[in-house]
């Protein structure tokens, strides 16, 4: 084992650039990225990772070209449909994003159904927890938490805000991964990753490997936060 009880959060960047370097359409990069996510899940399980949270689709991604968005939506339906494999690995699926009944939410019904089914069908698994952030933005999450507390008449402080996040029981992030050579933080788990070290990988997400994950876990273990 490389490490246990570790929460690794990944900003899966570089699918489009990966495709462009190969003269392929961006959709091919997203397909390769989804396939590699399945591989990374297997590696993470083997590596003893306790929580793996991935940035699947942000609140800002809806402005992308319609054909690309449709392709990504289909890939997420496929991802949430890998129930047999997830059960075999003992992986429990969870989802974080704008609540389906939120007036600003944009997750299509067919993706909602796939998410709900995956959560239900893997609920009894006791291995790694895979949380997929879909239609997710950290600023929207924090604003939603503050509004929830305001409506309840609850004092807004750090403790109450934490309890009002989309997924209050999501543990703090131990290491945040950003792929494709980008050295910046996106609108992803800003609250949960406060103080966490960041592993900047030069690999595009479709090429993110076991060695890359090992480097991230090692960083989580060596930097106190």
Check if the beta carbon of residue 212 is closer than 8 Å to that of residue 44: no
User: Once rounded to an integer, what is the mean pLDDT over residues 13-39?
Assistant: 95
Pairing of strands 175-178, 198-200: parallel
User: Once rounded to an integer, what is the mean pLDDT over residues 24-31?
Assistant: 95
- On the question of pLDDT at 225 being above 80, the answer is no
Residues in the chain: 225
Give 184's contacts (C-beta < 8 A, 6+ positions apart): 178
Burial grade of 118 (CB within 10 A; 0-12, 13-18, 19 or more): buried
Task: Please tell me the predicted confidence (pLDDT) of residue 3.
Answer: 44
Of residues 3 and 16, more confidence is placed in 16
Tens of pLDDT, residue by residue over 173-223, are 999 999 999 898 899 999 999 999 999 999 999 999 999 999 999 999 886
Catalytically annotated residues: 13, 61
- On the question of pLDDT at 1 being above 50, the answer is no
User: Once rounded to an integer, what is the mean pLDDT over residues 5-25?
Assistant: 95
User: Once rounded to an integer, what is the mean pLDDT over residues 25-51?
Assistant: 96
Percent of the chain with pLDDT over 90: 91
* Bridge partner list, 53: 9, 131
Tens of pLDDT, residue by residue over 121-168, are 999 999 999 999 999 999 999 999 999 999 999 999 999 999 999 999
User: Once rounded to an integer, what is the mean pLDDT over residues 9-35?
Assistant: 95
């Amino acid at each position: 084992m490389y490490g246990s009880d570790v929460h690794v959060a990944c900003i899966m960047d570089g699918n489009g650039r990966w495709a462009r370097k190969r003269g392929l359409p961006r959709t091919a990069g997203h397909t390769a990225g989804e396939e590699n996510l399945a591989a990374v899940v297997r590696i993470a399980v083997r590596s003893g990772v306790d929580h793996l949270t991935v940035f699947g689709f942000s609140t800002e991604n809806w402005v992308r070209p319609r054909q690309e968005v449709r392709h990504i939506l289909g890939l997420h339906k496929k991802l949430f449909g890998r129930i047999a494999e997830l059960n075999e690995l003992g992986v429990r699926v969870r989802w974080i994003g704008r609540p389906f009944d939120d007036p600003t939410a944009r997750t299509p019904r067919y993706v909602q159904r796939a998410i709900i089914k995956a959560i239900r069908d893997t609920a009894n698994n006791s291995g790694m927890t895979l949380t997929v952030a879909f239609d997710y933005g950290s600023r929207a999450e924090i604003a939603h938490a503050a509004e929830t507390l305001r409506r309840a008449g609850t004092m807004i402080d750090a403790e109450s805000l934490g309890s009002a996040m989309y997924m209050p029981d999501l543990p703090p992030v131990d290491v945040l991964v950003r792929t494709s050579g980008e050295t910046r933080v996106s609108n992803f788990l800003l609250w949960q990753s406060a103080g966490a070290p960041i592993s900047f990988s030069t690999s595009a997400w479709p090429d993110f490997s076991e060695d890359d994950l090992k480097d991230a876990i090692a960083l989580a273990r060596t930097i106190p936060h």
